Structure 1
Amino acid sequence: MRIGFFSDRYLPFTDGIAYSMEGARLELEALGHEVYIFAPKPGPRFHEASPRITRFPAVKGLFFDDYRFSVFYPPRTRRSIEKLDLDLVHFHTPGQLGIFGAYYARRHDIPLVTTYHTDLYEYVKHYRSVLPGTVALSILAPFVTGGGAGAYRTSLSCVKPERSIDRWNQKIVQHGMTLMHNHCDLVIAPSAKMEAQLGGWNTVSRIATLPSGVDEIPATEADMAAARREFGIAEEEQVVLYVGRIGTEKNIGLLIKAFAQVAPRCGRARLLLIGPGDEDGRFRAQAAAGPCADRITFTGRMKRENLGAFYAIADVFAFPSAGDTQALVINEAAWAATPTVMVDREISQIVEDGVSGLFALNTAEDLGDKIVFLLGRPHQAAAMGAAARERAKKLTAQTQAAKLSSLYEETVSRYRASPLLALPPVL
């Protein structure tokens, strides 16, 4: 099968969407499929070596430093896509390239699949500046799907301002995404949480729950020793680790507050926060103003291949976010047999409370208590970590890609060609 992945996020940028796509691509190709990726060009001098990856001109995005905004689709590039004769389109983001992929599939009358990787409904509460993007999504959705006059009227009504920017954003997201999803042949939800959300939005297309596969990030004893040296972590110290974006949507402020309660009770504890973000320095300022500032370290962005050592030296993986869709970092921690304390109960097939990790309430007090519980009971923590690792072994990239392949084949076999939509050309 010839499969097209369309996404506004892809390597070399590092996030869950990029890694999910890359893991799936490699394993789908191992199964005999041809996977073609269409993504933004990371920079003007970037040269793409792979013949199966098409890069579109892009400019620096408005929201994050590493977000690329594709604004131009060269006619030559569009013609080269048509020559591929794709059997199926899978778009991974609802941005410019994702929407282009959806449009392409509908214009060429081929099956359309999407994965709802990002909980935009929750996300927009933390980043109000995305409002122009959500408005554009609402306006473009009927154009892309050919939804008709009724869909245009509903979209325009959603664009009408409301007193609450959060509510306005969320209304637009709910409508725009539902309209897009209802014109897909398959919508993949990466967790039970997202399946419930999409169902609650009256999504009529078929929904399948399929977490992304995650493989182990290996680390040697030498790697672990180097990781400790790099940040001055002594052998006897206990590491509480977080990996991910250092952003408001990840509830980082709660974790810093929780650690302020952990530190006096666990004198050897260190908090290590790995990831990009904190553009305005608010979390570093919060940590610096607290009573245990010298025991909190922000490392900044780190290459994924280097993370294995940090998962391995961690005693507890702490994940306070309540806005993720699946949190692949939990699987990565599980591969290192590191138990997780997390807030959101519905996003992971790895963590079972008291068996392979612990669930905490969305309060600094309870999150801190659960971290202290594991730090103070190393044998129990080790048993939970071992259980988590066994679960991770069942959710490898190979295993999940085989399931994805089956879903693709079912989707194609069910697909019934409809008359080609009379859509206007892409500008």
Structure 2
Amino acid sequence: MKVCMMTNTYLPHVGGVARSVSTFAHEFVRLGHEVLVVAPNFDGKPLPPEREAIVERVPSLQNFNGSDFSVRLPFAAALSERIDAFQADIIHAHHPFLLGDTALRVALNKNVPIVFTHHTRYEDYTHYVPFSETLREVAIELPTHFANLCDGVIAPSESIARLIRKRGVTAPMTVVPTGIDVAAFAQANRARGRTRHGISADAFVVGHVGRLAPEKNLPFLGEAVALFLREHPHARFLVIGDGPGRAELEAQFTAHGVREQLILAGKRTGAALREAYRAMDLFAFASRSETQGMVVAEAMAAHLPVVALNASGVREVVDAGNGELLPATATSADFAAALQALADDPGRRGALATGAATAAHAFSRERSAARVLAFYEEIRRATRARRLLHDLHPWAALLQRVGLEWDILSARTQTLAAAVFSDKESTDNKPAEPTAAAGR
């Protein structure tokens, strides 16, 4: 099968979507399929030539307004030529805008089915743009409209599948988490990971991996771990990742007097990332905005018990057999107490580590790739008759193209109008602020 994947983020950018696309792309290639990844340019260490060979880069404005997204510049002729030559059997969009819109148009022009993965709860990222309250509604409705323009939708967790069905997605859907290389995480070198980060062999290490940003609930997590470290002067908190929340996290640990126990290691990929996981004794995760617990699954593959909040994408991974899933209403003190309980009980910690290693196999990249490929085939079979009609009737093809452009435009217009006017209405209906005269 020939698969064309279109994404606004890709390696060497470090992020969940980039890693997901890369994992699937290279597993498909390993299985003998042909893959073309269309993605923006990103700064960073270049990919090995054999990995870059499957990528067509488009010019872009990177890290738009401090976010993980890159805004693509006008469609390049070279991209059209490569897509023409590739002759994809299926188009896979990984975002509902920018290259997502391009994916819709390419799929219709080439008369091939399109699948969309709903990777992100976009409403949790509206703080990166002006008028964030107005755009929150847009961020909910836009991917819903986009999903219904596609032939099939992949949700990375049951939580997200339920959520987007409730929001009105009616396209055929399947649930497939991003796969991970379970064996590579299990076999990573723990001693080397500790040496790289200056951690002694006998130190107890709480770890975290993720972007240091507001949507990851870092103030909550930082408070919990700082409270734990105050009671354990020889323990360490190893944080892998970077972002706008780094300075605030440092300040928080400084205020608690435990800054020297905080290790901010920055972004890591490949073997360095896997060794960092293995350097940990316990994985702490407090995000409430995940579509899937990818880093949680990676931690479990590295034989780590997990302490996390009960939230979307995480509750499908963590249970009583591999960690502590705390209520969504838990406080930082509750979270610190859960860390304390596991630190004090090596026997239970060992049992949970065994459970974590077993559970991680459900998220293997081989299993996930096979499920996505099966869904591709299902969607191709379901759309074959319509595609044949399109090929035979140029007038029908023209009408479909006009209809698609109208659907894209009207969906964007209706969503924005609803957000603007509902926001205005809620503002207009607010009680008037008391005047100075009224106060007297």
TM range (shorter): 0.7 to 0.9
Q: For 1:10-409, what aligned pairs fall within 5 Å after superposition? A: 10-43=10-43, 49=49, 50-64=52-66, 67-124=69-126, 127=127, 129-131=128-130, 165-216=131-182, 217-218=184-185, 223-278=189-244, 281-348=247-314, 351-361=317-327, 362-409=330-377
Secondary structure at the counterpart of residue 263 of structure 1:
helix
Q: Deviations over 1:116-160 (max 9, x none)?
A: 111112232xx2x335xxxxxxxxxxxxxxxxxxxxxxxxxxxxx
Q: 1:44 to 1:242 in 2, by over 3 A?
A: closer
| Unaligned runs of at least 5 residues, structure 1 | 132-164
Runs (4+) off by over 6 Å: 44-48
Instruction: Please tell me the residue identity of whatever aligns with 2:103.
Output: G
Secondary structure at the counterpart of residue 8 of structure 1:
coil
Question: Equivalents in 1 of 2:348, 2:102: separation in Å?
Answer: 50
Paired residues of 2:117 and 2:154 also in contact (CA < 8 A): yes
Secondary structure at the counterpart of residue 362 of structure 2:
coil
Q: 1:241 to 1:44 in 2, by over 3 A?
A: closer
| Unaligned runs of at least 5 residues, structure 2 | 391-395, 406-440
Paired residues of 2:287 and 2:311 also in contact (CA < 8 A): no
Paired residues of 2:218 and 2:245 also in contact (CA < 8 A): no
Higher Rg: 2
Q: Deviations over 1:141-191 (max 9, x none)?
A: xxxxxxxxxxxxxxxxxxxxxxxx454222111221111111111111101
The share of aligned pairs that are identical, in percent, is 26
Question: Equivalents in 2 of 1:20, 1:45: separation in Å?
Answer: 18
Q: Deviations over 1:226-262 (max 9, x none)?
A: 3323333222211000011011111111111102221
Q: Deviations over 1:322-381 (max 9, x none)?
A: 001112111111111100111134414764432111112342011111111111111111
Count residues with an aligned counterpart.
389
Q: 1:316 to 1:48 in 2, by over 3 A?
A: closer
- Please state which structure has a larger fraction of its residues in helix: 2
Paired residues of 2:40 and 2:70 also in contact (CA < 8 A): yes
Partner residue in 2 for 1:422: 401
Q: 1:353 to 1:280 in 2, by over 3 A?
A: closer
Paired residues of 1:219 and 1:309 also in contact (CA < 8 A): no
TM-score, length-scaled by structure 2: 0.82
Secondary structure at the counterpart of residue 120 of structure 2:
coil
Larger deviation, residues 240-249 vs 389-398: 389-398
Larger deviation, residues 285-294 vs 344-353: 344-353
Instruction: Please tell me the residue identity of whatever aligns with 1:273.
Output: V
Secondary structure at the counterpart of residue 201 of structure 2:
coil
